[in-house]
Every structure is written in structure tokens, then in C-alpha cells.
Amino acid sequence: MKFAHIADIHFDSSFSTLSDKGNLGEKRRLEQRNVFREVIEYIKENQIECLFISGDLYEHKYIRRSTIEFINNLFKEIENTKVFISPGNHDPYLQKSYYNTYEWNKNVKIFNSKIEKVELQDVDVYGYGFDDFYCSETNIEALEIENKNKINILVIHGTLDGADIKDKQYNSMNKKMLEEKGFDYIALGHIHKNNFSPNGRIIYPGSTIAQGFDELGKHGMIIGEIKNKDINLEFVPLEGTEFVEYKIDCTEIGSEEELIEKINNLQLQENKLYKLILSGKRNFEINIYDLYKYELNEKIIKIKDETKTNINLEKISKEQNLKGLFAKEILEEMNKGIYDNETIERALEIGLEILE
């Protein structure tokens, strides 16, 4: 049995990180569609029997009917593929949700908050879906496989071994308990980073398309095949634009103008969006908001300042002048540990600039 497994595509996401960058938010939403078309084309070309979508297919708050129709029309193109959807915390099976009110194509099965089994010829697919934006009780512990001679799949959204209160709000499940159930494959969703392993049995595919700079690296889908209880998995990257971080060492940069020149000379790749991290020692005051005023490459979405002051405080504190007295005061405040280093460094820079 061959299957594809995706999760967390978040159709019609607001992409708040990109919303103030011209039309990048809209471009990203169009890219969601392109990536989903890739998934469907792969399924058609490789005769995939089942598509598992483990929650957060769309954003309930923002989803448009036109997007639902787009998704369903693509499902119609894979009539011979069974599509199983387990709603998650961003697309729960609510009374007025499209999962409940829209007429989906006949090859689509949407699970609700009652654990259910769907029987295929050689496969039994179990599933559970959120019916609210939070879920702390699924009763998954009581689930037992009915026919262990068949291939058994579980499609579900949630957190593995959630430790804190927040994790436990999103269907926290004990990994050891799931392993003991004996499923041939558990198709998970919710965590946007994949835990791919070629012979894994409990898998997060990660988000199908990155939502922001907290989701670095390649994104895509899991393709699997199960034969005689043996499993083989492959991670297939999809052609979405990648979020990446790029570090610039400012130690040898002497002015804001020089920094802008260095940024403008960066060789940025076409299929990437960048977060610049300024590192090293700074020799001038860096104001991130001032940097954004320049006409930077549109692929630069965010700039973060992690530089440290390039000041020898001990040396300055020995000077017999106002700067020396000020430096001594700063050293004393640092030793007290009352203020964080960033506040101290900022006060130091401003004070020394005034005393120049």
C-alpha cells in the first residue's frame, strides 16, 4: 500500500510576518496552492492509494469558500485515491465549519471527535479530529486494533509526550502508549518540524510550507509504502520558498552606510526569504528601524541585532575624566546584576556618545 502524508499547510494563513512587506503575504498564499498542486500531481503520477492529511489543512478564521472549492476540485482529480482528513486545532470540525457544511468529493473522509475506523481492502484507517480549538481528552488510550492481519493506520493531530500545560491543550499523547498499540503507521500533525526516519512508524511530516522564520529548512511531504508489514518512507521536498537566516559579522564595519552597502551586495537566492542576523562587535549605534527605511532587497524580511558593544570598559574606567567616572558607574551596575546586559550596553553607548 502506497500513501502520501501531509499536515499543517494552513491554507489562507494571514502570514503576519509578511503582511507589511508589500504583497508577499498574498504571494505566499498563492504558493500554498502551487505546493498543494505538486502534492496532487505526485499522487496522480505515482498511483498513490491513500492521502493522509493530519490536521490544520486550513485556517478556520481566515479560510474562504473559494479556497475550499480549490482544494476539493484537486481532490476530484485523484478519484482513485482515498483522502483522509483529521481536523486539528486550527481547522476543527465545528458545527459551522466547511468540514461539516460543505459537500466534499466522494473520495474524501473527514474524521470527527469520535474515533472511527474506515475499512479498505487490505487496510484499516483509524482517525480522530478536533471538534474545538483545544483538545485534552481523546480517549485514544482505549483504542484497540480490531484486525491485526491487515495494515493498520492511525491519522491524528496532536502533541507527542506534551509536558507543559500548553502542549496538553493540543491532544498530548504518550509515545510509548502509541507504540504499544501496534499500528503499522501513525500519521501525525501539529508539530511543524518533521521527525522523518526511513523506517519510522510515528511520523510528523512537518508543515507542508513554512509559516515563518521559526520553521527553517526544507518542507514537503512523506511518501510511504507498506508491504507485508515492512515500511519504507521517503521525505519529498516541495517547491515552496524557504525561510533562511543569514549572519553578517559587523566587527569590521565602521558605519551604518557601510553596513547597508554590505547588505545590498549580498547574493540572495531566488527561492528564499531572509532574516539577517547582525553579529560580532559593533562600532556604531545600530537602529534596526532606520535600516528598514533603506530600499533593501525585498527578499530581506527581517533584521535582528545580536551585536555586542566594541568597548573596552575596564580601560575606559581608568581614565581620569568624566568618561572614566561614567565607565566605573556602569561597571558597578553590571556587578549588581539588577539590569540585563542589553539595557546596560545601551546606556553605555548613549552615555559615552554624549561625553565624546
Same domain as 136, residue 16? yes
Confidence of residue 333 (pLDDT cuts 50, 70, 90): confident
* Structural domain range at position 105: 2-237
- When mean pLDDT is compared across 249-258, 264-273, 338-347, the lowest value belongs to 338-347
Same domain? For 97 and 44 the reply is yes
Residue 342's contacts (CB-CB under 8 Å, 6 or more residues apart) are none
Residue 51 Cα distances to 47, 169, 271, 336, angstroms: 11, 27, 27, 59
Instruction: Answer whether residue 341 shows pLDDT above 70.
Output: no
SS3 at position 285: coil
Same domain, 141 and 195: yes
Q: Which residues contact 106 (CB under 8 A, 6 or more apart)?
A: none
pTM listed for this prediction: 0.85
pLDDT digits (tens, 9 = 90+) for 279-329: 998 888 888 989 988 888 889 999 999 998 777 677 778 888 887 888 788
Same domain, 120 and 12: yes
Check which CATH number belongs to the domain holding 117 and give it.
3.60.21.10
Q: Give the whole-angstrom CA distance, residue 187 versus residue 269.
A: 33
221, 347: one domain: no
Mean pLDDT throughout 126-146?
94
Task: Give the pLDDT band (50/70/90) at residue 350.
Answer: confident
320 and 209, same structural domain? no
More confident residue, 326 or 77: 77
Whether 264 and 137 share a structural domain: no
The whole-number pLDDT of residue 312 equals: 67
What amino acid is encoded at 28 in this protein?
Answer: R
Please tell me whether residues 205 and 57 are part of one structural domain.
yes
CA distance 265 to 70: 40
| Domain final residue, candidates 214, 237, 260 | 237
